[in-house]
Chains A and B, each alone.
Chain A
Amino acid sequence: METRASHILVGGFVLALLAGLVGFAVWIAKVDLDAEYKDYDIYFNDTVSGLVKRGTVFYLGIPVGEVRDITLAPDDPRKVRVWVRLRAEVPVNEGAMARLDFQGFTGVAYIELFGGPPEAPLLTPHPGQERPVIPAQVSGLQVIFASAPDLLDAAGLAVAQVQKLLADENLAEIAGILKNTNTITGNLAVGTKDIDGLMVDARAALVEVAGAANAIQVLANSGNKLLSEDAKPLIAEAIKTMQSAQSMLNRVDALVAANEGAVTQFVNGSLPEVSRMIVDLRKTARTLSRLVTRIEHNPGEVIFGTPEDEYDPKTRKQGEKK
């Protein structure tokens, strides 16, 4: 005879055990069944090597989500689109920035988010966008990694230059310079006495220069005195004379302006005539001078003429006629 009660009991126990196992698994997995998420896109302009799916997304160091997918940007193959899923309570607003960071130089890449201003509105998808887009910025390590090749090239070049500078011939030259410096300092030490004499001479020269400066000062004072005292009346007289001359010139100017026509006629017509008259007067003066001289020497000659033998073309001789 079989007992039916034991089968029911065993079956119930097994079901209860399975339910306990499921509850335990959920508890162990910390599955937050009530949690809500928001998806965002981040576009990086450079490589995202090190970043993997299900990578952690931090917000100011707090893990708030994970990387859902990593693909190329659909409209620009130079960019990388990273799809992240964040918890809904994370305040991703306008002005928030995303940055690709690394855990050490060889660590795993992760995304770090920085919030925008508190008063800024929450980030929403723009028309044509599948999800809201968080702007990306370049991290310091990325800059270092990007410029590392150039830095290495520059360092190599610098090392090459230092090697050239420290070549054997340059080292020999530097040794010579040091040797010469040693010689100069030695001579300087020996010639201290000469330098002392030079200093004495320089001091005497400075004394003479000081005396000359004093003399110049005295001369300048005399000049100042001359200008301030003696020259004052002279300058005043000169100013007065200049004023008088200015007044006279003004009167002459007014006179000329008032008689412009007459002056023009005089300059153009009468002045050349005056020149001719002077020539004639000069000639007349010479003639009168000769006449007076002749009268002084022989008055009769002036009246009766100079006795001379005139030439007769017919006889071809000089006759007796006076």
Chain B
Amino acid sequence: MTVVNQKFLKGIKAVKYLMLAGVVFSLSACGPLISFGNDGPADEVYTLAYNGTYSVFNAAAPRIYLDEPLMAEGLASRKMSVRLPDFRRSTISSISWSANLSDLIRGYMARSIAVKTGAQLISEGGLDVKVGCRMAVNVWAFELVPGESQVDDKVSSTIELTLLNVTNGALLGRQTFVVEKQVNSVEGVAIAAAFNEAIEESSVTMSEWLLPIQSGCQL
């Protein structure tokens, strides 16, 4: 008799748990309790892609630590900035960078300038590498500048480089590189292409500037 009653009570408990689980599933099926709204369609994501080769190791080459760029006017984000008239600024809707813009610029410069000059540019991940110089990067502008009409649209890139010998604190050089490229269409791909052309042209002139003074970074 006692054994029959105990089995009955255990069966009632199991039914209770099943009913509770059923209620929870029923509520969850009604939709999210908290909504963050609708973000709309996903952005098109672009990058700054260097299409050249990778640098080769040369122990005798000058070693330069490429500092993380200091981004002006809120450029350090994944959104593409726009400079509008009357001192207004904005970001381009529906398109964005694949990573923080400062990381993209730093990576592009590290690869491009290293290949063009032969110097060993140490960037993120180059900890404990003894270097002769540090190159500070200030990005004053890297933005879309709309014109009166679409044909007047352009992207503007203004990057300042400062080369400093870390062994004696000597300032080896400082130069600002300004490049503007026309945007061929209103599509995101055209805007991204213009940005890529601007950074490529900047890296060429940066390499030409660095070549004669990089010997000051020799260890």
Contacts and interface: CB of A to CB of B under 8 A. Distances in A.
Interface of A: 268-270, 272-273, 275-276, 279-280, 283, 304, 308-314, 316, 318-319, 321
Nearest to B148: A316
Central interface residue in A276, A280, A309, by most chain B CB within 10 Å: A276
Contacts of B153: 313
28 contacts: A269-B128, A272-B130, A272-B131, A272-B166, A273-B127, A273-B128, A275-B166, A276-B65, A276-B67, A280-B68, A283-B70, A308-B91, A310-B92, A310-B93, A310-B94, A311-B84, A311-B90, A311-B92, A311-B93, A311-B144, A313-B144, A313-B146, A314-B186, A316-B150, A318-B84, A318-B90, A321-B40, A321-B93
Contact of B92 (A270, A275, A304, A313): A313
Central interface residue in A268, A308, A310, by most chain B CB within 10 Å: A310
Contacts of B130: 268-269, 272
Contact of A309 (B70, B90, B94, B127): B90
Interface string B160-203: 00000010000000000000000000111001000000000000
Interface of B: 36, 40, 65, 67-68, 70, 82, 84, 90-94, 127-128, 130-131, 134, 144, 146, 150, 153, 166, 186-188, 191
Nearest 3 A/B pairs, CB to CB:
A310-B93, A311-B90, A313-B186
Contacts of B84: 311, 318
A269 B219 CA distance: 12
Given A269-B130, A272-B131, A275-B166, A283 B93 contact: no
Given A311-B82, A311-B84, A321-B40, A279 B92 contact: no
Contacts of A319: 93
A309 to B, nearest CB: 6
B90 A310 contact: yes
